[in-house]
Amino acid sequence: MDKLIIEGGNVLKGEVEISGAKNSCLPIMAATLLTDEPCVIRNVPPLRDIYTMIRLLKSLGMKAEWSNYTVFVEPRRKQRKYLAPYHLVKTMRASVCVLGPLLAKLHKAEVSMPGGCVIGHRPIDLHLKGLSALGGEINIEHGYVVAKTKQLKGTRIYLGGPFGSSVLGTANVMMAAVLAKGKTLIENAACEPEVVDLANFLLKMGAKIKGINTHILEIEGVKELKGVDYTVIPDRIEAGTYMIAGAITGGDLILKSANLEHMGAVVDKLRQTGVEINTDQGNIRVKRRKELKPVEVTTLPYPGFPTDMQAQMMALMTVTEGISVITEKIYPDRFMHVAELNRMGAEIMLEGASAIVKGVKSLSGAPVMASDLRASAALVIAGLVARGKTEISRIYHLDRGYEAMEKKLSKLGARIRRLKE
Ligand code: EPU
């Protein structure tokens, strides 16, 4: 297993290119199961999760390959399969979003139930509720969701759970509804930019969807969808991660190919702390000149502060004088990074679903362990300013969602290298 070694203390400066959004690519790749025609998806970064989705599409009888930031998918009509096996689903929860497309297109699906998850309890009851409402007959058998239907039929579905809307739940139900007979209304739909991106992909395929970008989606089912050529949006979480990496070092960065429109809550909080964020000839400039101020952050569904930025924001607050409070309202247990940050000298206390962060003067490098994708990013950020050497193990988590992070950071002046093991 590879490790990252970081020598903290360098100020980040320069330009960084933001990759395509992983969380757009994955459901969009699943949506190619809805057509018999080839699809081309552009701006797809070479990430572990993308390769897992390619393997899954292949196991479902599709031809799928990644080359030069582009994914090509072509259905092999006679060889289509409807089984998403445990060994793939267990490595990537997003695999569950093949369920809706398989049920809509092939009228049957067997998809392994996703297993436990380190960021907390992650049920799929809303996905199943929506697909049942559309007329899917759904059973759980031997660890698999077994779904079948004669024909899905449009209906009215309320898709809210105890923590609000569901991103992949909305994706799954929307992908099923586009081929259902008649009209579907999804109430409390998620409206994250990645859900909007998927909806735009489906529109291009010939789907009829109204209310995109709102919490109520109105979908008129069509008989078939066509293959398309589509470019995914930039990754707002990767962009936010580099903003914080720059800010924590007192740096000056230009983010290229990022979209500030998708980052309102993150930009607002960073500005409150004293980070300067401006647009500069179509790029985003992030600069920090003064001491940072503590903030209160609560994660919420979009357009609220994203849970996928919570750990990185916490890393920034560890060295911000004063008391910051970070409350998690999407995954109340998503705090695996707290103990590791404390090992580096941070002073963070957990109180239910809130972390109380008392800013310290400096962090000190230590061997730490990555536990999930965003927690890993937080440890990298902390390592950039820690005194001495930080050694992060289990960075395969990082490779699931950040393209060549050590290369991008090195180019900005960080002393960071990958140790192959
Ligand atoms: N929930 C339910 N029932 C469901 C589905 C979700 O109660 O059937 C709850 C979850 O337990 C959670 C909340 O609803 O408390 C929101 O979860 P959501 O379904 O929106 O999460 P997801 O769709 O499984 C996506 C991202 C995650 C991101 C969340 C929240 C992808 C591939 N994953 O997951 O990204 O944290 O939305 O924004 O899009 C990451 O990239 O590191 C990552 C974990």
What does the pLDDT read at residue 243? 98
pLDDT tens-digit map of 320-354: 999 999 999 999 999 999 999 999 999 999 999 99
Please tell me whether residues 238 and 354 are part of one structural domain: yes
Question: Are the C-beta atoms of residues 18 and 246 closer than 8 Å to each other?
Answer: no
What does the pLDDT read at residue 330? 96
Please tell me whether residues 8 and 68 are part of one structural domain: no
Please report where in the chains the tokens 């994203």 appear, as a residue.
306
What does the pLDDT read at residue 74? 95
Please tell me whether residues 249 and 182 are part of one structural domain: no
pTM metric for this prediction: 0.98
For residue 67, the tally of other CB atoms under 10 A from its CB is 9
Please tell me whether residues 191 and 253 are part of one structural domain: no
Strands 108-112 and 39-42, sheet pairing: unpaired
Q: Which of 157, 158, 166 to mutate to test the pocket of ligand 1 (most atoms within 8 A of CB)?
A: 166
CA 168 to ligand 1 centroid distance, Å: 7
Atom of ligand 1 nearest to the CA of 128: 8
Rounded to an integer, what distance in angstroms lies between the CA atom of residue 295 and that of residue 282?
28
Atom of ligand 1 nearest to the CA of 330: 15
Tokens in use for 381?
């950020």
Please count the structural domains in the chain.
Answer: 2
Please tell me whether residues 330 and 282 are part of one structural domain: yes
Q: Which of 202, 231, 260 is the last residue of a domain?
A: 231
CA atoms within 13 A on the CB side of 382: 40
Rounded to an integer, what distance in angstroms lies between the CA atom of residue 97 and that of residue 197?
15
What does the pLDDT read at residue 116? 66
Asked whether residue 138 carries a pLDDT value surpassing 80, the answer given is yes
Please tell me whether residues 324 and 366 are part of one structural domain: yes
Tokens in use for 363?
């962090």
Q: Which of 231, 256, 284 is the last residue of a domain?
A: 231
Q: Does the C-beta of 163 come closer than 6 Å to ligand 1?
A: yes
For residue 104, the tally of other CB atoms under 10 A from its CB is 26
Please tell me whether residues 211 and 347 are part of one structural domain: no
Q: CA-based angle 178:168:35, to the nearest 5?
A: 35
Question: Are the C-beta atoms of residues 338 and 355 closer than 8 Å to each other?
Answer: yes
Please tell me whether residues 206 and 294 are part of one structural domain: no
Please tell me whether residues 34 and 94 are part of one structural domain: yes
Please tell me whether residues 215 and 238 are part of one structural domain: no
Rounded to an integer, what distance in angstroms lies between the CA atom of residue 19 and that of residue 376?
18
What does the pLDDT read at residue 199? 98
For residue 367, the tally of other CB atoms under 10 A from its CB is 14
130: helix, strand or coil: helix
What does the pLDDT read at residue 315? 98
Rounded to an integer, what distance in angstroms lies between the CA atom of residue 421 and that of residue 414?
22
Q: Does the C-beta of 273 come closer than 6 Å to ligand 1?
A: no
Q: Does the C-beta of 261 come closer than 6 Å to ligand 1?
A: no
The pLDDT of 210-224, averaged and rounded, is: 98
Annotated active-site residue 97? The verdict is no
Q: Does the C-beta of 94 come closer than 6 Å to ligand 1?
A: yes
Domain assignment of residue 348, given as a range: 2-19+234-420
Return the CATH number at 326.
Answer: 3.65.10.10
172: helix, strand or coil: helix
Q: Which of 231, 248, 277 is the last residue of a domain?
A: 231
The chain-wide mean pLDDT, for the chain, equals 96
Please tell me whether residues 222 and 250 are part of one structural domain: no
- 271: pLDDT confidence band, cut at 50, 70 and 90? very high
For residue 161, the tally of other CB atoms under 10 A from its CB is 13
Ligand 1: residue whose CA is nearest its atom 33: 23
Ligand 1: residue whose CA is nearest its atom 35: 308
Rounded to an integer, what distance in angstroms lies between the CA atom of residue 299 and that of residue 270?
14
Q: Does the C-beta of 303 come closer than 6 Å to ligand 1?
A: no
Strands 39-42 and 229-231, sheet pairing: parallel
Please tell me whether residues 40 and 183 are part of one structural domain: yes
Query: Strand (E) positions, 189-262?
Result: 208-210, 216-220, 229-231, 252-256
Rounded to an integer, what distance in angstroms lies between the CA atom of residue 394 and that of residue 371?
7
Who's near 42: CB < 8 A, 6+ residues apart?
20, 69, 70, 229, 230, 231, 232
Rounded to an integer, what distance in angstroms lies between the CA atom of residue 213 and that of residue 193?
8
The pLDDT of 79-91, averaged and rounded, is: 94
72: helix, strand or coil: strand
Amino acid (1-letter code) at residue 9? G
In the chain, what percentage of residues exceed pLDDT 90?
A: 94
Q: Does the C-beta of 69 come closer than 6 Å to ligand 1?
A: no
What does the pLDDT read at residue 421? 74
The pLDDT of 257-284, averaged and rounded, is: 96
What does the pLDDT read at residue 65? 98
Tokens in use for 310?
């919570």
Question: Are the C-beta atoms of residues 331 and 307 closer than 8 Å to each other?
Answer: yes
